[in-house]
Amino acid sequence: MDAWILKATNLTKRYGPSCLYCTALTGAERSNRCPICGTVIACAKINFVLKQGEVLGIVGESGSGKSTLMQIVNLSLPADDGEVWYRERDKQKQFQEKPVNLLKLDKYTRRAFRNERLGIVHQRPELGLNMKFLVGGNVAEKLLLANWRNVGRIRERTAELMRLTELPPERIDDDPRMFSGGMLQRVQISKALSSNPAVLLLDEVTSGLDLSVQARVLDLIKHLQWELKMTMLLVSHDLGVIKQLASRTMVMKNGWAVESGLTDQILEDPQHPYTQLLVSSAL
C-alpha cells in the first residue's frame, strides 16, 4: 500500500460569474482572465499527491494561483471543484483505510482539523496572526484550539519555539505591533509548528527574513522533515529554497500546473518554455 497522506484532485477555483467559454478562452499560454465574463481562473484542475514526510515545492510567477491553492488546502477558501483527500493515521502510525475528503467536512470538524493537523505560514504575517493578541497569545491560540490546557506548558512550548526561530523568548508578552516584519514571520512559523501538525503549509516562508535567520529557519524545516517526517507544501519564489527542501516541484502559470517533476530535474532540465524562463532568470 502506498503511503500517501494528502491527495488533491482536480482543484479548481474561479473568481467571478464564470461563463461557458471560460475554460476554452483561458489557459497557461493565454491569460487567466476570461475575456467574455471577466472571471479570473485562480486554480485550474490542480492535482498532486503528497506522501508521508514528503515536501512538494510550488513555484510560479505572482498571480499564478499558488497562494489560492494553499488557502484551499488550509480549508480557509472553498474550492469550486475538486477534492482534497487526507488519510488519518492511528496511534500505531498506520494509515487508516478510508481517506476523508477535507472539503466536505462540516464547519466544526474542519476547524478542529485545521488546528490539530495543519499548520500554515502565510505570506503576509497579518493574515496568520491576530495583531490584537500578544506574541505569546498568538501561539497559545493555536495550542488552546488544539486542546492544550496547561498554561505553564503552553508558555514553555512557546518559548522553546521562539528560541528555535531565534526570537528572544523574553519578548513573549510583547505587542506584535512592536515586532518587525521578519520577526512577525518567525512568530507565524512558531505558531504553525506549535501543535506539531501532520501537514505544514509554507507560503513564502523565508521572504522578509534576513539571510542568517533564513538559513536557520531552513535548517529547522529540514529537520522537521527528516526527524518528525512532517509533510509539507512549500510555495516559494526562491528556487534555492525549493532546491534545498523539496523533493518534487510543481510549476504553475495562470492557474494551471504546466510542469511537475523531481526538483533537480525541474531545475536542471526544465521542459516547458515557462519553466526554462523561470530557471534561467534565477540568480
Q: Give the binding site for other proteins (CB under 8 A).
A: 2, 51, 211-212, 215-216, 218-219, 222-223, 226-227, 243-244, 247-248, 261-262, 264-265, 268-269, 271-273, 276-277, 280
Closer by beta carbon to other proteins, 23 or else 244: 244
In angstroms, give the least distance from the CB of 173 to other proteins.
Answer: 29
Round the CA-based radius of gyration of the chain to a whole number and report it: 19
Closer by beta carbon to other proteins, 111 or else 229: 229
Closer by beta carbon to other proteins, 172 or else 279: 279
Residue positions counted in the chain: 283
Closer by beta carbon to other proteins, 21 or else 226: 226
Closer by beta carbon to other proteins, 69 or else 221: 221
In angstroms, give the least distance from the CB of 240 to other proteins.
Answer: 9
Closer by beta carbon to other proteins, 38 or else 273: 273
In angstroms, give the least distance from the CB of 221 to other proteins.
Answer: 10
Output the nine-digit C-alpha cell for 13.
477555483
Nearest C-alpha neighbor of 47 from the set 11, 2, 6? 11
In angstroms, give the least distance from the CB of 118 to other proteins.
Answer: 24
Strand partners, 121: 202
Q: Which residues contact 174 (CB under 8 A, 6 or more apart)?
A: 134, 135
Residue 220, Cβ density class (10 Å: 0-12 exposed, 13-18 middle, ≥19 buried): middle
In angstroms, give the least distance from the CB of 2 to other proteins.
Answer: 8
In angstroms, give the least distance from the CB of 88 to other proteins.
Answer: 22
CA 190 to chain centre: 14
Nearest C-alpha neighbor of 251 from the set 25, 230, 265? 265
Output the nine-digit C-alpha cell for 107.
464547519
Q: Which residues contact 29 (CB under 8 A, 6 or more apart)?
A: none
Q: At what angle do helices 135-145 and 151-164 cross, to 10 degrees?
A: 120
